[in-house]
Amino acid sequence: MVIKHLHITRNIVTAFAVTMFFSCENNFSDVQKIGVLQNQPIGEAEQIDLRYTELIEDSVHLKANLISPKMLDYSNRDFSFSEFPKGILLKVYDEEGKMTTITSRYAIFYRDTDIIDLRDKVTITTHSGEVLSTSQLYYNEKLEWVFTNQPWVFKRAAGPLHGVGFDSDKDFKNFQMLEMGGDFELDN
């Protein structure tokens, strides 16, 4: 009787396990699609014209204007970012309304670190006509600091500068070069 009861129990457990195994219909291609969706952007926008304004003494002042043909939003990632695969045109305005333009053919904005990575023909043109050109430039929004380890050229009225790598504040007043070249004047 015990052997018969053990045999019946074993058959029930086996039948239950087989039923559970065959009732799961996970298709491998469906599982693969889930992984693909996680690598896709959560949003896509075209013809971006984003304006950042600030309220000062009851009037609105334009601080920046970001223009881009395409933006991909990857905020679904653990380390979220926005990608601008067709480049950007960024117009930045100072307190007096003077405009500095920044262009690049590719850009990524990392939200968690507030770092903007500009790549491929990066150009900064100040309101006074000075032009900085490089192949890659990083901008830290929190610290308002720009830096690169790439070769660069800075065309200015006092004569051009060039070198490899630099760190600077956003106004290029605290400018430190890693390797330098060109004609320049030193203040005493």
Domains and CATH numbers, the chain: 42-182 (2.60.450.10)
- Stated pTM of the model: 0.71
In whole angstroms, what is the distance from residue 18 CA to residue 38 CA? Answer: 32
Q: What are the pLDDT digits (tens) for 72-116?
A: 999 888 889 999 999 999 988 888 888 989 999 999 999 889 899
Task: Kindly state the tokens that stand for 74.
Answer: 């990857």
Average pLDDT score, the chain = 80
Query: pLDDT band at 34, cuts 50/70/90?
Result: low
Q: What are the pLDDT digits (tens) for 151-181?
A: 999 898 888 888 899 888 877 778 788 776 6
The segment with the largest mean pLDDT, out of 11-25, 28-42, 98-112, 138-152, is 98-112
In this predicted structure, the answer to whether residue 184 has a pLDDT above a threshold of 50 is no
In whole angstroms, what is the distance from residue 188 CA to residue 183 CA? Answer: 17
Q: Which of 133, 83, 86 is nearest to 105 (CA)?
A: 86
Burial class from Cβ neighbours inside 10 Å (0-12, 13-18, 19+) for residue 73 reads middle
DSSP state for residue 149 in the 8-state scheme: E
Q: Which of 95, 94, 91 is nearest to 68 (CA)?
A: 91
